[in-house]
């Protein structure tokens, strides 16, 4: 059994190594521009900070480690086309020849969907969420957010939304491999709703509006995934055959 798995493990190690190398190389590239990238990241926070509040750091090493976080995060995002490319090459041996040709659309589509999810988070969800969090209790306290904690929270949100928007792409791959159908997704819908709202509650700030701003698009994406599965791998209609 191990001998059967060994070629797959070797291939997986190869794909992971290429992906890691791409992230490391782009990490060093992004480290040269971490300050303007960080300025872009904190723009939504500065927009809602009350007068007299500032972004601060509380530990000596915090600015340096924040620069590393920013560089690693943006390096990872920049490497996404390569990562998705390597993912497709790993699963390609189990596909038909005509399906293997979908590598470029998959890599581009998956990257675009991640960027759409991240952009929706940055321009829609984060302004609402941070406005609620910063101004809640501002009459009693002075907001002095730590840059390290903010960047960690920011990247968590962006990654969460980016990965959530991969749902149609993942469905496309699973349907093409014959693992899911539109009927499978329809039958799972009630459970998917529970999972969607749980994920939204974990990844978004603790207010109902931002949770719905994540759950709403995910429900729509689930509906889109059903249509994708129906076009790629529709549920076979057996009733007519049985009657015949």
Q: What is the pLDDT of residue 244?
A: 45
As a whole-number percent, the residues of the chain with pLDDT over 70 amount to: 91
Question: What's the pTM?
Answer: 0.85
Instruction: Give the span between the Cα atoms of 169 and 109, in whole angstroms.
Output: 7
Q: How far is CA 164 from CA 93, 120, 148, in A?
A: 26, 11, 24
Q: What is the pLDDT of residue 129?
A: 80
Please give the helix or strand (H or E) that residue 181 lies within, else none.
none
Residue 225's region, left for phi above 0, alpha for psi from -120 to 50, else beta, is: alpha
**What is the total residue count of the chain?**
244
| Token output for 54 | 């500032």
Query: Would you say 148 and 202 are in contact if contact means Cβ atoms under 8 Å apart?
Result: no
Q: What is the pLDDT of residue 35?
A: 94
Q: For residue range 55-77, what is the model confidence (pLDDT) as tens digits?
A: 888 888 999 999 999 999 999 99
Please give the helix or strand (H or E) that residue 61 lies within, else none.
none
pLDDT at 240 over 70: no
Q: What is the pLDDT of residue 206?
A: 67
Instruction: Give the span between the Cα atoms of 72 and 70, in whole angstroms.
Output: 6
Q: What is the pLDDT of residue 180?
A: 87
**Range with the poorest average pLDDT among 2-16, 53-67, 71-85, 103-117:** 2-16
Half-sphere exposure of 20 (CA within 13 A, CB side): 6
Rg of the Cα trace of the chain?
22
Q: What is the pLDDT of residue 6?
A: 75
Q: What is the pLDDT of residue 138?
A: 67
* Mean pLDDT for all residues in the chain: 86
Q: For residue range 177-201, what is the model confidence (pLDDT) as tens digits?
A: 788 888 999 999 999 999 999 888 8
pLDDT at 144 over 60: yes
């Amino acid at each position: 059994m191990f001998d059967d798995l060994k070629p797959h493990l070797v291939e997986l190690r190869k794909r992971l190594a290429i992906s890691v190398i791409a992230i490391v190389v782009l990490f060093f590239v992004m480290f040269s521009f971490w300050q303007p990238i960080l300025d872009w990241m904190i723009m939504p926070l500065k927009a809602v900070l009350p007068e007299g509040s500032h972004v601060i750091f509380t530990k000596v090493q915090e600015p340096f480690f924040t620069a590393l976080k920013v560089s690693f995060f943006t390096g990872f995002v920049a490497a996404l086309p390569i990562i998705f490319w390597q993912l497709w090459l790993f699963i390609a041996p189990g596909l038909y020849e005509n399906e293997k040709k979908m590598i470029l659309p998959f890599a581009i589509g998956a990257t675009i969907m991640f960027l759409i999810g991240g952009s929706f988070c940055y321009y829609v969800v984060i302004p609402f969420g941070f406005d609620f969090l910063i101004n809640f209790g501002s009459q009693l306290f002075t907001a002095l957010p730590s840059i390290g904690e903010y960047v960690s929270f920011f990247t968590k949100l962006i990654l969460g939304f980016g990965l959530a928007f991969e749902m149609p792409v993942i469905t496309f791959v699973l349907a093409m491999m014959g693992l899911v159908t539109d009927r499978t997704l329809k039958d799972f819908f009630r459970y998917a709703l529970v999972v969607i709202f749980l994920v939204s509650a974990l990844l978004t700030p603790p207010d109902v509006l931002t949770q719905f701003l994540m759950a709403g698009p995910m429900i729509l994406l689930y509906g889109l995934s059903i249509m994708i599965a129906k076009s790629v791998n529709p549920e076979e209609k057996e009733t007519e055959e049985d009657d015949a």
